[in-house]
């Protein structure tokens, strides 16, 4: 069994930038709107089928 250990290779370095960008909010809103529209379409289809079978 080989054992490896992590060591720092330098000092004073900076971490990777992992924040949000300016397109995150519009993308999240568009995604939420798509989910809501899809749920509405499923609800409408179920109600239509239930009305046809009644």
pLDDT at 11 over 70: no
> Two tokens at 6?
């992590």
3, 11, 29, 42, 53 from 34: Cα distances, Å:
49, 46, 9, 12, 29
Average the pLDDT over 13-29 and give the result.
85
Q: Which residues of 13-38 are buried (b: 16+ CB within 10 A; e: fewer)?
A: eeeeeeeeeeeeeeeeeeeeeeeeee
pLDDT at 38 over 90: yes
What pTM, to 2 d.p., does this model score? 0.58
């Amino acid at each position: 069994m080989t054992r490896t250990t992590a060591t720092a290779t330098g000092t004073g370095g900076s971490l990777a930038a992992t924040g949000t960008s300016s397109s995150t909010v519009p993308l999240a809103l568009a995604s939420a709107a798509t989910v809501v529209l899809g749920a509405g379409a499923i609800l409408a289809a179920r109600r239509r089928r239930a009305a046809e079978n009644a």
